[in-house]
Amino acid sequence: MDTTENIDRRRHLRFNCLSLTSLTPHKDGIPLQPVTAGRTLDISRGGASVEVYGHIPQGTEVVLEIGVKERIVRADALVVHSSLSPEGTYTTGLRFTHVAPEDLNLLESHAVDAEPEC
């Protein structure tokens, strides 16, 4: 019998949100490889889950750019997990390490206003 509990340790409410995005892996501010395009699956104040076409290893620093209305929101983030989906894309979990407060507010209000269509 499996007695393990599936505990969600997230501190922030998630919003399902599909927006175009790009990820650029970095090391000390220097890009490591070409940009990986994709889309967000959900967003919270603490991070995002994105679907991308290339594998980015856990622990990689990235710059995330998300199209929100007429703006591009930029966030520094850390890859906390990445798994291959049956469709051949990667679901990649990101923890924000730096986002300008006004951009974080824009992301959250965009997700709240548009959910579930976001």
| CATH number for position 44 | 2.40.10.220
Across 87-115, average pLDDT: 84
Question: Can you give the residue range of the structural domain that contains 76?
Answer: 15-114
Instruction: Give me the pLDDT at residue 101, please.
Output: 92
Instruction: Give me the pLDDT at residue 7, please.
Output: 44
Q: Is residue 5 part of a domain?
A: no
Across 84-110, average pLDDT: 90
Residue 113 φ/ψ region, left for φ over 0, alpha for ψ in the -120 to 50 degree band, beta for the rest: alpha
Across 80-94, average pLDDT: 94
Residues 57 and 82 sit within 8 Å (Cβ to Cβ): yes
| 81 compared with 27, residue with greater pLDDT | 81
Confidence of residue 69 (pLDDT cuts 50, 70, 90): confident
Total count of domains within the chain:
1
